[in-house]
Amino acid sequence: MFELAPLVLAFPIAGVLLNLLFGRYLNERWISIIGVAAVGGAFGVAVLQALALAGSGYHAHLALLANWIEVGQLQAPWQLRVDTLSVTMMLLVTGVGMLIHIYASGYMHGDARFARFFIYLNLFITAMLVLVGGDNYLMLFVGWEGVGLCSFLLIGFWYDAGEPSASARVGGEPQAGAGNARAGRKAFVVNRIGDFGLLLAMFMIFWRVGSLQFDAVADYFSVQGAAAGGLATVITLLLLVGVCGKSAQIPLFVWLPDAMAGPTPVSALIHAATMVTAGIYLVARSAVMFELAPVSQMVVALVGATTAFMAGTIALAQYDIKRVLAYSTISQLGFMVAAVGLGGYVAGMFHLLTHAFFKALLFLSAGSVIHGVEHGAHATHAHVDVQDMRVMGGLRSKMPVTFWVYLIGALALAGVFPLAGFWSKDEILADAWHVGMVEGHWHGVLVYVLLALAALSTALYMTRQIILVFFGAPRSEAAAHAHESAPLMTAPLVVLALLSVLGGLLNLPGWHALGTWLEHTHEFFQTGAFNALVAGISTLVALAGIGLGYRVYFLAPRTTADAADALQPALGPMFGFLRGKWFVDELYDAVIVRPFERGARSLAFALDWNFWHDGFHNSVLAAGFRMLAAFLSGPVDKTVIDRLFDALAGAVRVVGSRNLQRLQTGYVRNYALGVVLGVVAVMGYFVSRSI
């Protein structure tokens, strides 16, 4: 069944082409059927690949599609790699992707660019499958940039809407309705910074290893062992730059909150479940190198933990329903990155999977909420920001299905026993505990503390969100008239809710299905031991967060849309700091963006144009030439030569200019006479010489 592997790409590509060529002639129904079928087909193929792996001793299988670049010793074919790690990712991408496609066919109903949306989504699935299915770093990079492109296109899908927020006003004069487009551009550019690191890492791998194939790289480093430690450190740190870009870690996380400008299914699919986890996949894929570079591992773990903590605190003070989830995603990605940094690859992958379930669920439910409020706003002609949680409230009764699945997602995210999030998050914390307490590394302790605090804030902000959105009384007309979404949208929610509940089964302590499955890709992909103490603390932390949220937000419910946040008195100026997102955007704006723009402007206009183009060219080259000409015609010509000729002219004047002028009679015969005169003179000269 491995022969079918290329089909995993063929299905979504076919979807793209069909909708691209015929989309304009089809109605929404057929467009969405094509889109969903394309992903569904790929999902089927992925399942078959998993079965094939299970049936053939879990050995990695390579499927050559075509040669791509062969230059000198550089050999980079289009080749798929089917092993447990890639198949896991494929299943996730296509499975969750399919659910989100179904949801999107309801969510995007009536949009003028319906076909284009599905083209983009299928294109994204293709790129993501290239990313996780490729057999070399170059193909991974193709997918890596490809998903970046799709992210750019989908964030800016409503490219004629969205006002740039004050802090995010980047790029010269404001342009009407280009806020979403700007967010997309920001995502692409920030990701490119990450790609820069990945690119350099690839170059280094190639020139040391001589190949970009995963197998060859793994072989090289296992053979070299500790001798290649320095090299591995440099490469892995460069890879980390890429991870920070794609998985939205400090310092490159700033694009992800803005990316919420895209339609909600996009946020769920790309900016929660799949694309942003590519960084974790990359680290897991390059695990051999990370294992040789303890310094890099430590940096990775600390970056992840810090991000988890920082984003968790920011999420506490946001009012935009999707923005809270965005920061939550960054925070959870921090968990995963910390996990793989600590060597807990299975834990990282485990959390990646469960997070995909419940975060996709949360985003889609948030979309459902937005959809509902939007309908309410339409019905009442109210002008409200439909994503602002302050105008919501009391939606529990209006949207029951959405409420329940949202609650499940939130509890899973908060890590409440026995939902999926509990098991995966606990595994990460246990790994951190192990590294810190058992192995005695200081950074393990630090990571554990940061992650625990992040877990606390996770429980707190999710409680806050649930209460603000669903409990209390509606705080606007729009919220009062909201209604439940169509079954096309709620059905995938239910499936995802189920997965969020049962996701923990994937790698339950004692069973370790995921661990044993992934073990076949790298032997050190092992599940850490279950630690009852850590599990207990985690549960306490989660409950504390929920309890705190209950006390702050439920017992003192917000009554009006513009009241101050209940947490504000407790935190004081700190709240403003969190509300301002630690002012990272402003910092980058002041330190990087504005200086760059100012610098580019002065480089372009002052240095290049005024100085070099006008100044140097016109003033030095051209004017220099003119000066030389002027010098020759001026001092030299005017004084020396002119005087000479003035004298001559004086002489001529004596002879009589009238006479000379009369030489120019205009009669041809006169001139002929002149010719003969000349001939006689020349001949006379020669004759006289011969005498």
* Binding string, residues 407-446; x marks residues near other proteins by CB under 8 A: ----------------------------------------
Segment contacting other proteins by CB under 8 A, of 142-150, 278-286, 462-470, 517-525: 142-150
Distance of CA 363 to the CA centre of its chain: 18
Residue 82 phi, psi (nearest 5):
-105, 100
- Residue pointed to by tokens 């001092």: 635
Amino acid of residue 204:
M
For 567, the token pair is: 């947490």
Of 107, 117, 141, 448, the one binding other proteins by CB under 8 A: 141
Of 576, 599, 634, 656, the one binding other proteins by CB under 8 A: 599
Q: Name which of 51 and 679 has its Cβ closer to other proteins.
A: 679
Q: Name which of 233 and 458 has its Cβ closer to other proteins.
A: 233
Q: Name which of 627 and 680 has its Cβ closer to other proteins.
A: 680
The rounded distance, in Å, linking the Cα atoms of 313 and 325 is 12
Of 29, 383, 658, 669, the one binding other proteins by CB under 8 A: 669
Q: Name which of 176 and 654 has its Cβ closer to other proteins.
A: 176
- Residue pointed to by tokens 């949208």: 489
Nearest approach, Cβ of residue 602 and other proteins (Å): 9
Q: Name which of 189 and 537 has its Cβ closer to other proteins.
A: 189
Nearest approach, Cβ of residue 176 and other proteins (Å): 5
Q: Name which of 46 and 238 has its Cβ closer to other proteins.
A: 238
Of 92, 142, 155, 353, the one binding other proteins by CB under 8 A: 142
Nearest approach, Cβ of residue 88 and other proteins (Å): 24
Of 145, 258, 427, 589, the one binding other proteins by CB under 8 A: 145
Of 54, 587, 636, 677, the one binding other proteins by CB under 8 A: 677
Segment contacting other proteins by CB under 8 A, of 99-107, 282-290, 467-475, 659-667: 659-667
Nearest approach, Cβ of residue 133 and other proteins (Å): 15
Distance of CA 567 to the CA centre of its chain: 32
Contact positions with other proteins (CB under 8 A) in 352-411: none
Instruction: Give the per-residue SS3 of 397-409.
Output: HHCHHHHHHHHHH
Q: Name which of 471 and 616 has its Cβ closer to other proteins.
A: 616
For 248, the token pair is: 């939205």
Nearest to 297 by CA among 499, 441, 140: 441
Segment contacting other proteins by CB under 8 A, of 8-16, 148-156, 286-294, 640-648: 148-156
Of 295, 486, 563, 603, the one binding other proteins by CB under 8 A: 603
Contact indicator for 443, 301 with CB cutoff of 8 Å: yes
Which one-letter DSSP state was computed for residue 615? I
Of 440, 572, 650, 666, the one binding other proteins by CB under 8 A: 666
Contact indicator for 103, 492 with CB cutoff of 8 Å: yes
For 32, the token pair is: 């969405």
The rounded distance, in Å, linking the Cα atoms of 329 and 351 is 12
Contact positions with other proteins (CB under 8 A) in 193-212: 193, 195-196, 199-200, 202-204, 206-207
For 145, the token pair is: 């940039």
Q: Name which of 438 and 672 has its Cβ closer to other proteins.
A: 672
The rounded distance, in Å, linking the Cα atoms of 71 and 206 is 12
Contact positions with other proteins (CB under 8 A) in 617-656: 617
Q: Name which of 383 and 669 has its Cβ closer to other proteins.
A: 669
Q: Name which of 282 and 469 has its Cβ closer to other proteins.
A: 282
Q: Name which of 35 and 194 has its Cβ closer to other proteins.
A: 194
Amino acid of residue 343:
G
The rounded distance, in Å, linking the Cα atoms of 642 and 635 is 9
The rounded distance, in Å, linking the Cα atoms of 76 and 307 is 35
The rounded distance, in Å, linking the Cα atoms of 638 and 645 is 10
Helix, strand, coil percent content, the chain, rounded in steps of 5: 75, 5, 20
Nearest to 426 by CA among 452, 462, 449: 452
Q: Name which of 378 and 613 has its Cβ closer to other proteins.
A: 613
Q: Say how many residues touch other proteins, by CB under 8 A.
A: 75
Contact positions with other proteins (CB under 8 A) in 243-302: none
Residue 146 as a binder of other proteins (CB under 8 A): the answer is yes
- Residue pointed to by tokens 């006008």: 614
Nearest approach, Cβ of residue 546 and other proteins (Å): 42
3-state secondary structure of 511: coil
Of 27, 397, 659, 690, the one binding other proteins by CB under 8 A: 690
Nearest approach, Cβ of residue 485 and other proteins (Å): 28
Q: Looking at the chain, how many residues does it have?
A: 691
* Binding string, residues 539-578; x marks residues near other proteins by CB under 8 A: ----------------------------------------
Contact positions with other proteins (CB under 8 A) in 171-190: 171-173, 175-178, 181-182, 185, 188-189
Which one-letter DSSP state was computed for residue 308? H
Q: Name which of 166 and 687 has its Cβ closer to other proteins.
A: 687
> Is the preceding omega at residue 251 within 30 degrees of 0, hence cis?
yes
Q: Name which of 645 and 671 has its Cβ closer to other proteins.
A: 671
Burial of 600 (0-12, 13-18, 19+ CB in 10 A): exposed
Buried b / exposed e over 274-303, threshold 16 CB at 10 Å, is: bbbbbbbbbbbbbbbbbbbbeebbbbbbbb
Q: Which residues contact 438 (CB under 8 A, 6 or more apart)?
A: none
Q: Establish how many alpha carbons lie within 13 A of residue 236's alpha carbon, considering only the half-sphere containing its beta carbon.
A: 30
Nearest approach, Cβ of residue 670 and other proteins (Å): 7
The rounded distance, in Å, linking the Cα atoms of 242 and 196 is 7
Segment contacting other proteins by CB under 8 A, of 255-263, 331-339, 512-520, 673-681: 673-681
Which one-letter DSSP state was computed for residue 71? E
Nearest to 431 by CA among 493, 349, 344, 348: 344
Nearest approach, Cβ of residue 397 and other proteins (Å): 38
The rounded distance, in Å, linking the Cα atoms of 670 and 65 is 89
Q: Helix 179-209 and helix 214-224: axis angle, to 10°?
A: 50
Of 590, 600, 620, 640, the one binding other proteins by CB under 8 A: 600
Contact positions with other proteins (CB under 8 A) in 58-97: 66-72, 74
Q: Name which of 438 and 652 has its Cβ closer to other proteins.
A: 652
Q: Name which of 191 and 500 has its Cβ closer to other proteins.
A: 191
Q: What is the largest CA-CA distance in the chain?
A: 134
Nearest approach, Cβ of residue 322 and other proteins (Å): 21
The rounded distance, in Å, linking the Cα atoms of 30 and 46 is 24
